[in-house]
């Protein structure tokens, strides 16, 4: 087993909160990540809520003319669009001519080991007023605390309305339902690995893909924008193996040894609190002659296993420092290409060649 640490630059900035001295190989051999923002996903495990897989509850906040009406009221139900059915207890009623502001955070609770668990805490909703064209306008802002484990999505929506006089028609009321268009306020990340190791009969496996130094908690300020104050960058996100995502019901990643030209994705697609990395690492090259300081980074680690004719030959441990900075509501694919010059971080592998030195006489 060979263990060497790489350095990688990708984007930029924040404050240092940890430091570690490490030894690194010539960074010319480093595996690099290209970052793609994309709408497609093929990872086996996807923890996010979608129109096809909605949440089961949300907390709603609301005011009428700036006065509190709902304070994290639980709304339960199912479905999206025409098939949606959502209810709450303690009915409130529309007041004709009154201005309403609403906000919703989803999910409010999830089941963890058969225990109902709050997804967010310390939630509050504040409304400010201003006068625009001689008319009072209200603007709401939600703040909350969130602890991340990579597997629970967090969404937000807001709406405004003005009460109408009741029509007396139960099937066609003057005031329709308050419709929420939820947006994701976390970042979703996966990894892709392309095998460009072109040796005959050789395959690779990629295992133990992890992001270190991710944010374990943060405070979100939510209105028309999403602003995070992240904290506690001590979370390790385990993306598992690069595996075949064809079986979307697979609970565990299947070992896949993939040939040159093939690309496989991490078993897990996980959620991150947005923001630039907060760690600093001092990296010394293998000759102990120069050092480089990498600030505002996340540490990424993974193992590459080399097989020849199906037999495991060696395992190479890789560490990369990246200034990748995820943004709220965006999905990312971090793609690496494994080549002969970087599969073994200590040495660039050279091709085996043959020549004829001599033909001896009879």
Chain segment 143-186, per-residue pLDDT in tens: 999 999 999 999 999 999 999 998 778 788 899 899 999 999 99
- What pLDDT is recorded for position 18? 30
Q: Which residue has the higher pLDDT, 8 or 138?
A: 138
Token pair for residue 267? 């078993």
Residue 9 pLDDT class (50, 70, 90 cuts): very low
Residue 254 pLDDT class (50, 70, 90 cuts): confident
- With 50 as the cut, is the pLDDT of residue 255 above it? yes
Q: Which residue has the higher pLDDT, 252 or 103?
A: 103
- With 70 as the cut, is the pLDDT of residue 32 above it? no
- With 50 as the cut, is the pLDDT of residue 29 above it? no
- What pLDDT is recorded for position 6? 35
- What pLDDT is recorded for position 4? 39
Residue 351 pLDDT class (50, 70, 90 cuts): confident
d(CA 108, CA 54): 13
331-357 average pLDDT score: 87
330-338 average pLDDT score: 92
- What pLDDT is recorded for position 166? 86
- With 70 as the cut, is the pLDDT of residue 116 above it? yes
- What pLDDT is recorded for position 24? 34
3-11 average pLDDT score: 33
Kindly state the percentage of the chain with pLDDT values over 90.
65
- With 80 as the cut, is the pLDDT of residue 229 above it? yes
32-38 average pLDDT score: 57
Q: Which among 306, 307, 4, 318 has a CA at the least distance from the CA of 191?
A: 318
47-72 average pLDDT score: 94
β-bridge mates for residue 76, sequence order: 57, 87
Beta strands 99-106 and 311-322 are unpaired
Residue 134 pLDDT class (50, 70, 90 cuts): confident
- With 60 as the cut, is the pLDDT of residue 35 above it? no
- What pLDDT is recorded for position 168? 76
Residue 348 pLDDT class (50, 70, 90 cuts): confident
137-151, 195-209, 213-227, 286-300: which has the minimum mean pLDDT? 286-300
- With 70 as the cut, is the pLDDT of residue 214 above it? yes
118-122, 175-179, 347-351: which has the minimum mean pLDDT? 347-351
d(CA 211, CA 165): 55
User: What integer best gives the mean pLDDT of the chain?
Assistant: 86
215-227 average pLDDT score: 98
Residue 41 pLDDT class (50, 70, 90 cuts): low
């Amino acid at each position: 087993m060979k263990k060497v640490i790489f350095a990688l630059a990708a984007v930029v900035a924040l404050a240092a909160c940890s430091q570690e001295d490490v030894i690194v190989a010539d960074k010319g051999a480093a595996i690099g990540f290209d970052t793609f923002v994309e709408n497609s996903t093929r990872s086996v495990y996807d923890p996010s809520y979608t129109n096809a897989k909605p949440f089961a509850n949300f907390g709603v906040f609301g005011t009428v003319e700036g006065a509190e009406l709902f304070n994290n009221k639980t709304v339960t139900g199912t479905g999206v669009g025409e098939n949606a059915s959502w209810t709450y207890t303690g009915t409130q009623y529309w007041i004709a001519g009154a201005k309403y502001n609403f906000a919703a955070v989803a999910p409010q609770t999830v089941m963890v080991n058969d225990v109902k668990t709050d997804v967010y805490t310390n939630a509050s909703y504040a409304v400010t007023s201003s006068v625009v064209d001689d008319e009072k306008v209200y603007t709401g802002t939600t703040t909350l605390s969130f602890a991340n484990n990579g597997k629970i999505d967090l969404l937000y929506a807001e709406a405004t309305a003005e009460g109408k006089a009741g029509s007396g028609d139960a099937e066609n009321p003057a005031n329709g339902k308050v419709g929420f268009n939820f947006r994701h306020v976390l970042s979703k990340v996966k990894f892709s690995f392309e095998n460009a190791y072109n040796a005959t009969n050789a395959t690779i496996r990629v295992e133990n893909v992890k992001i270190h130094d991710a944010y374990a908690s943060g405070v979100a300020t939510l209105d028309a924008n999403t602003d995070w104050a992240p904290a506690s960058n001590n979370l390790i996100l385990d993306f598992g193996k690069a595996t075949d995502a064809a079986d979307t019901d697979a609970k565990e990643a299947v070992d896949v040894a993939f040939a040159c030209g093939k690309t496989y994705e991490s078993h897990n697609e996980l959620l991150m609190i947005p923001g630039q990395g907060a760690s600093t690492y001092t990296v010394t090259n293998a000759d102990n002659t120069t050092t480089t300081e990498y600030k505002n980074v996340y540490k990424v680690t993974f193992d590459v296993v080399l097989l020849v004719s199906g037999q495991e030959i060696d395992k190479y441990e890789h560490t990369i420092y990246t200034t990748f900075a995820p943004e709220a509501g965006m999905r990312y694919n971090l793609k690496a290409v494994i080549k002969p010059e970087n599969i073994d971080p200590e040495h660039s592998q050279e091709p085996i060649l043959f020549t004829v030195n001599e033909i001896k006489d009879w």
